Amino acid sequence: MGSVSHRPGPAVMLRHAGMVAVGGALGSAARAALEAAAPAAPGALPWTTLTINVVGSFVLGALLEVLARGGPDEGRRRAIRLLCGTGVLGGFTTYSTFIHETAQLLTGGATLLGLGYAVVSVVIGVAAAVAGILASRSLGRRGSR
């Protein structure tokens, strides 16, 4: 017997791409509004981008844990992951701005601040994702009692 392909058809793939695009537009708009409201001063730590990326990492960790605990990545769970996780949170967090700001600090003479910003962003981002996962698990255990 041959293996059955579980690859979605073109209509489903297009619908998934649309969810990511809509979510990405919403997340990017929210990030742009926050960065416009609190822009980074030249040569200073880009607090807004750092905060956005840490908050986004925490929420993404929590979201993915909740979805994974709910069952396989299909149906409504996949739609939520694509719309909210890949779309909204992918647009809200920003690797490109983080790298651009790091490069500006490094080339603008703030070498230690640039290196510190890069390291702290990655370390705190990973820690925030883990904290989101753990918080979601903790809330899940409380809710099942």
Residue 37 near residue 51 (C-beta atoms within 8 A): no
- Residue 5: pLDDT above 80? no
The pLDDT, as a whole number, for residue 20 is 97
Burial category of 53 from C-beta neighbours within 10 Å (exposed 0-12, middle 13-18, buried 19 and up): buried
The pLDDT, as a whole number, for residue 143 is 65
The pLDDT, as a whole number, for residue 9 is 87
pLDDT band at 2 (very low <50, low <70, confident <90, very high): low
Between the CA of residue 123 and those of 22, 46, 137, what are the distances in Å? 29, 16, 21
